[in-house]
C-alpha cells in the first residue's frame, strides 16, 4: 500500500513549512493559551516530538514529555523560557501513550513541580508488565508469531536491543480506564481512550476545539499499529473504533506529537480509516492457505521494494502486517 497522498490542512503555515523543510521549528501558539513546543530528537529520523503546553488558571498542563535525554530536557527548558514559562508552573502531565519519546522527562517534571502524571492504565508500565510483559518480551512474541525464519527473528530482536532505550519504570498518579473529564483552572479536557497505536493510548480533547492526538492520527502518513503479542489482539480493529471516536469529537484542530497541527480533523480520521481498511483487505487478499505474516509482508507494497528496506523498517512492516492479518472485517 502506498502512503495516503493527501495530507491534512495545516493549522499554521510556519510549523508545516518547517516540517517539510526537515527543520525543527521553535515554540509557537496553536490558539490563545496553547503552545506547540517541538523538542529535537537528535540523530532520530523523526527529528522531533512536539509536546504541548496548555495555560490554565490552575497552572500549566503539559501533553507528552519527549525523550529522557539531556538534549531534550535542555531544549524543553529553553523553549519554556522563550514563551515566559517555567517547569515549576506545570501542574499536570497528560501522556498519550507509553513510548519512550512521549514519557521521557515526565518524572523529572513531577520532581520539580509536583505535577500529577496521567496516562491510560493499559499503558501503565506496572500493569503492562503484569499482563503483557515488557516491550522486548512483547516484541519477541510478536516476531515469533509472524512466522519469520528463526535467524530473521534473532536479527530483528538484536537490532531492537540497541534502540529500545526505555526505562519502563514511570509510576502514574492517575491511571485512566475510560473516558474522563479533567478540569484544570477553568479549562476542561476530555480524556478519550483511543487504542490502536498502543493498547492504552488516549487522546485529550480541549473543549475549545483542539484534540491532542499523540501518535494515533498524524497530518501525513499512516498509523503504526500496536504489537500483536497475545491471542485475540486486534489493534487494527481498535484503531478503527478510535478514529471514529476522534471523528465524532467535533474538534477543529488536531495536535499530533509529530509533524504539525492541522484542521479537517473529521476528514483526516475518515481518510486514515479508509486507508487502513484497504490495507487489511490487501493483506488478506495476498495471503494464501497456510501463509504467515512473513510471507504476506514480503508481497505488500511499501515505500521501497522489500529487499531494499532496512532491517528496522522491515521489522516495523512485519509486525504491522501481523496486525492487519489479525483483523476480520465485518
Within a domain: 149: no
Low-confidence stretches of the chain (pLDDT < 50) are: 1-5
pLDDT of residue 70: 86
Domain tally, the chain = 1
pLDDT of residue 3: 47
Q: Give the structural domain span for 23.
A: 13-133+168-266
Within a domain: 90: yes
Within a domain: 143: no
Within a domain: 19: yes
Within a domain: 32: yes
Q: Which CATH number fits the domain that encloses residue 239?
A: 3.60.15.10
CA angle 279, 284, 290 (to 5 degrees): 145
Contact 100, 68 (CB under 8 A): yes
Within a domain: 138: no
Contact 52, 41 (CB under 8 A): no
Within a domain: 46: yes
pLDDT of residue 42: 63
Within a domain: 283: no
Give me the half-sphere count of Cα atoms (radius 13 Å) on the Cβ side of residue 10: 12
Burial of 124 (0-12, 13-18, 19+ CB in 10 A): buried
Pairing outcome for strands 48-56 and 34-40: antiparallel
Q: What is the pLDDT of residues 121-142, one digit of tens each?
A: 999 999 999 999 998 999 999 9
Amino acid at each position: 500500500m502506498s502512503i495516503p497522498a493527501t495530507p491534512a490542512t495545516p493549522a499554521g503555515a510556519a510549523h508545516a513549512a518547517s516540517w517539510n523543510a526537515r527543520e525543527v521549528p521553535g515554540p509557537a501558539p496553536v490558539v490563545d493559551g496553547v503552545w506547540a513546543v517541538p523538542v529535537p530528537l537528535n540523530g532520530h529520523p523523526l527529528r522531533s516530538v512536539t509536546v504541548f503546553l496548555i495555560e490554565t488558571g490552575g497552572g500549566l498542563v503539559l501533553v507528552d514529555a519527549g525523550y529522557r535525554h539531556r538534549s531534550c530536557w535542555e531544549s524543553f527548558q529553553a523553549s519554556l523560557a522563550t514563551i515566559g514559562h517555567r517547569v515549576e508552573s506545570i501542574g499536570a502531565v497528560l501522556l498519550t501513550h507509553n513510548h519512550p519519546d512521549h514519557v521521557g522527562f515526565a518524572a523529572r517534571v513531577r520532581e520539580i513541580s509536583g505535577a500529577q502524571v496521567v496516562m491510560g492504565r493499559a499503558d501503565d508500565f506496572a500493569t503492562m508488565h503484569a499482563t503483557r510483559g515488557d516491550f522486548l518480551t512483547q516484541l519477541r512474541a510478536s516476531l515469533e508469531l509472524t512466522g519469520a525464519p528463526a535467524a530473521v527473528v534473532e536479527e530483528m530482536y538484536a537490532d531492537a536491543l540497541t534502540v529500545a532505550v526505555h526505562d519502563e519504570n514511570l509510576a502514574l498518579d492517575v491511571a485512566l480506564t475510560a473516558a474522563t473529564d479533567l478540569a484544570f483552572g477553568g479549562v476542561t479536557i476530555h480524556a478519550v481512550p483511543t487504542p490502536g497505536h498502543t493498547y492504552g493510548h488516549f487522546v485529550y480533547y480541549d473543549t475549545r476545539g483542539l484534540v491532542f492526538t499523540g501518535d494515533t492520527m498524524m497530518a501525513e502518513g499512516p498509523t503504526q499499529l500496536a504489537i500483536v503479542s497475545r491471542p485475540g489482539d486486534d489493534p487494527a480493529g481498535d484503531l478503527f473504533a478510535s478514529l471514529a471516536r476522534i471523528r465524532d469529537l467535533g474538534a477543529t484542530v488536531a495536535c499530533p506529537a509529530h509533524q504539525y497541527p492541522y484542521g479537517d480533523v473529521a476528514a483526516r480520521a475518515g481518510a486514515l480509516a479508509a486507508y487502513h481498511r484497504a490495507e487489511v483487505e490487501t493483506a488478506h487478499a495476498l495471503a494464501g492457505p497456510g501463509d504467515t505474516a512473513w510471507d504476506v509482508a514480503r508481497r505488500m507494497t511499501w515505500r521501497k521494494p522489500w529487499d531494499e528496506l532496512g532491517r528496522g523498517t522491515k521489522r516495523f512492516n512485519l509486525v504491522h502486517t501481523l496486525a492487519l492479518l489479525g483483523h476480520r472485517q465485518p
